[in-house]
């Protein structure tokens, strides 16, 4: 076991969003205490000072069939991880999201050694009707969850859960003036700006980018001075998106790393489902949310239709349609462009959407989310920071 004054914390993140959350947690930990950080993650965690045992780029998948293809590799990595952790016992393991892998890993770990586990971003935390937390209860000593209703559901199941808020509010704030952000991106401060957020997985890029760029061409015909910026996730090579832009025949499209600057600069975003919609929400950026799957994904949908009224996170959180969603066959370039132009052509509706998105942002908790999670982690290792203030509200 490591020295009490310098605990070892092992962080496991399998997706790009989890890598972002893990990196922010790592930074908050290092700001508060002398700790040794190791784990599994991607570029951002490595840059934040985490010594990576494995790089998890490419581990996540969309749809059952794509996930099944990754199972052999992930099972091997889990065994290797358990072996490494048995030889190098940490003081704490932090599992970040990625439930299908991390819950199983947690069970295997608990069988081998009695290491404390903090689960950050528990499975189905966004759902107000989620049940069946027995597996999580068996592995997690504590849970830090981004949504208040999730904490209530988990505590009702006997889990020591704390609502910490969503870390997107630490990264992205609504701009008082879009001018400086537009200047940073090399954009005209006075012409309309449309952000294109196609996702962080290669499968998403192949499905969402052509759709979004096709819609952008239609928007430009209606608004010739419209400017377009497409986000490049750390998991995606810029050349892949440059090729998509060339095939679309849309000139003057800028590429920018990540989404933070884009959603703060844009009048509107065309976004894939998932974390990108929360990033746009945090900036108060109106959006049209699109989803398109492969033929196999459509078959999965027909065989196992999801019990969801909404798919865009701001709509799920608000429990109503705040931003338009266009899914699968209804997500055509013409339909996406029509929804985008409808918003861009109605300043009052655009302003109302911004206000509603900022209301949704308000439910995500106050800033310093990563700091609150760091305090929980340090407390679990026996260290408590002097200025600790865990939780946006009392734990109940």
For residue 294, the domain's CATH number is 3.40.50.2000
Residues 122 and 42 in one domain: yes
Residues 302 and 376 in one domain: no
Does the residue 390 lie in any domain?
A: no
Does the residue 41 lie in any domain?
A: yes
Residues 93 and 237 in one domain: no
H helices within the chain, ranges in order?
16-32, 43-47, 64-87, 99-112, 134-139, 148-156, 168-171, 179-184, 202-222, 238-248, 260-265, 275-283, 295-303, 313-318, 333-344, 347-362, 369-380
Does the residue 396 lie in any domain?
A: no
Residues 198 and 273 in one domain: yes
Domain count, the chain: 2
pLDDT at 386: 44
pLDDT tens digits, residue range 212-246?
Answer: 999 999 999 999 999 999 999 988 999 989 999 99
Residues 157 and 179 in one domain: no
Does the residue 48 lie in any domain?
A: yes
Residues 159 and 200 in one domain: no
Residues 251 and 353 in one domain: yes
* Domain span including residue 62: 8-166+366-380
Residues 49 and 68 in one domain: yes
Residues 153 and 181 in one domain: no
Does the residue 65 lie in any domain?
A: yes
pLDDT at 60: 76
pLDDT at 393: 46
For the chain, residues with pLDDT lower than 70 are: 1-5, 61-68, 293-308, 384-396
pLDDT at 390: 52
Residues 39 and 158 in one domain: yes
């Amino acid at each position: 076991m490591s020295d009490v004054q310098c605990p070892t914390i092992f962080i496991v993140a399998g997706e790009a969003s989890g890598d972002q959350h893990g990196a922010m947690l790592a930074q908050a930990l290092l700001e508060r205490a002398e700790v040794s950080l190791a784990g599994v993650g991607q570029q951002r965690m490595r840059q934040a000072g985490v010594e990576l045992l494995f790089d998890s780029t490419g581990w996540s998948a969309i749809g059952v069939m794509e996930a099944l293809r990754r199972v052999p590799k992930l099972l091997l990595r889990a065994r290797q991880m358990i072996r490494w952790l048995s030889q190098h016992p940490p003081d704490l393991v932090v599992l970040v999201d990625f439930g299908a892998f991390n819950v199983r890993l947690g069970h295997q770990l608990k069988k081998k050694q009695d290491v404390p586990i903090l689960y950050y971003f528990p499975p189905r935390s966004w759902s107000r009707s989620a049940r069946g937390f027995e597996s999580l209860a068996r592995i997690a000593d504590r849970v830090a969850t981004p949504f208040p209703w999730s904490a209530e559901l988990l505590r009702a199941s006997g889990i020591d859960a704390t609502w910490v808020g969503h870390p997107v509010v630490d990264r992205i704030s609504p701009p008082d003036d879009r001018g400086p952000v537009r200047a940073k991106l090399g954009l005209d401060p006075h012409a309309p700006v449309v952000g294109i957020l196609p996702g962080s997985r290669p499968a998403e890029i192949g499905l969402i980018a052509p759709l979004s760029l096709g819609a952008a061409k239609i928007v430009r015909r209606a608004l010739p001075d419209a400017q377009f910026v497409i986000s490049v996730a750390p998991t995606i090579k810029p050349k892949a998106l440059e090729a998509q832009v060339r095939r679309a025949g849309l000139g003057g499209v800028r590429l920018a790393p990540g989404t933070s600057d884009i959603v703060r600069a844009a009048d509107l975003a065309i976004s894939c489902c998932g974390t990108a919609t929360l990033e746009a929400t945090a900036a108060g950026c109106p959006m049209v949310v699109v989803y398109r799957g492969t033929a196999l994904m459509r078959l999965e949908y027909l065989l196992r239709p999801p019990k969801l009224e909404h798919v865009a996170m701001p709509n799920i959180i608000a429990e109503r349609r705040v931003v338009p969603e266009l899914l699968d066959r209804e997500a055509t370039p013409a339909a996406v462009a029509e929804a985008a132009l409808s918003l861009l052509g109605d300043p009052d509706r655009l302003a109302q959407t911004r206000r509603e998105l900022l209301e949704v942002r308000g439910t995500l908790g106050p800033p310093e989310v990563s700091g609150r999670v760091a305090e929980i982690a340090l407390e679990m290792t026996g260290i408590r920071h002097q200025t600790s203030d865990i939780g946006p509200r009392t734990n109940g």
